[in-house]
Amino acid sequence: MAENENLDRLMGRLTLEGAGPLAQLSSAATNALMVRGREIVASVREMTEERPLIGLWFAFQIGFAAGRWGPRRAKR
């Protein structure tokens, strides 16, 4: 019984304190990833305005890659 009480006490403490440094690290990494994503989107947008055919080819390549990452179909 003492082990269960100790475990319950520790679980309650963990819940009250939150994830602590791990949550802060995760938030910082997510923010950095979002900033980089916005920069990439902005550069692609500029490229497509300057060279529309290259932008069309790039969009086709992204669509093809996304289609390949989809669920695998069973081969007959």
What's the pLDDT band for 1 if we cut at 50, 70, 90? low
The pLDDT score that the predictor gives to residue 56 is: 86
The pLDDT score that the predictor gives to residue 34 is: 93
CA atoms within 13 A on the CB side of 30: 6
pTM: predicted TM-score of the whole model, two decimal places: 0.49
pLDDT digits (tens, 9 = 90+) for 27-67: 889 999 999 999 988 988 888 888 889 888 888 898 888 88
The pLDDT score that the predictor gives to residue 75 is: 57
Q: Domain coordinates of the chain in residue numbers? A: 20-68
Q: In the structure encoding, which two tokens stand for residue 61, read together?
A: 């390549």
Which of the 8 DSSP states describes residue 4?
A: H
Contact criterion met (CB below 8 Å) for 44 and 36: no
Residue 7 pLDDT greater than 70, yes or no: yes
Q: In the structure encoding, which two tokens stand for residue 49, read together?
A: 């305005």
